[in-house]
Amino acid sequence: MNRQKTLVYGLIAGSATIGYFLLFYFIQPRLFFHLSVQWASLLIFIGFMVLAVRSGRRLAGEGQYPWQPGLRAAFTVYVLAAVSYHLFYFLLYNYGAPELASIQEEVLMENLDRYKAVVGERNAENLRRDIRQSGIALTPGTALMALARSIIGGFVLSLVIGYLMRKE
């Protein structure tokens, strides 16, 4: 029963994330790439991960609830949500709104100028040159690599949630 609920939470988290990004896309496409919008979307993932772990804890009753089942539930939610979002993003970027590539390039260039002190003048110039030369493309390979990096971070986040929500 809990496994089914976890899958549902994962799919809802993915759908909510897609809806969240579409909202900003329809308000103004540039907002899609705003750093605050990107990072805030993680709150949707975390919320549904916590709900899934709480559901598992409720099923455990008064007994113990070690961190491993919490990790499993949270990570399942994260993976389903991340796969849903990355698939949506790949399809939107390549087929639904190809103008996102030029918008993303503009935003990246602005961010490089804004964060020159953090990145370093030389690195910023190298990145700017690379972007101009090769452009920005979202191929299946780059999309899968982005998903893989996301899932690694999601595992760490799931581990923290599972550990913090354990019951011993």
Please give the backbone phi and psi of residue 41, each rounded to the nearest 5 degrees, phi first: -65, -20
pLDDT value of position 134: 77
Q: What is the mean pLDDT of each run of 10 residues along the chain (168 residues)?
A: 86 98 96 93 98 90 87 97 98 92 87 79 82 83 96 98 91
How far is 83 from 63, CA to CA, in rounded Å?
33
pLDDT value of position 1: 45
Q: Could you give the dihedral angle defined by the CA atoms of residues 35, 36, 37 and 39, in that order, rounded to the nearest 10 degrees?
A: 80
* pTM for this model (two decimals): 0.89
| Structural domain total, the chain | 1
Residue 53's alpha-carbon distances to 40, 43, 62, 160, in angstroms, are 21, 15, 15, 12
Domain limits for position 142: 2-164
How crowded is residue 99: how many other Cβ atoms within 10 Å of its Cβ?
10
**Token digits for 126?**
């190298």
Would you give the distance in Å from CA 126 to the centre of its chain? 27
pLDDT value of position 11: 97
pLDDT value of position 18: 98
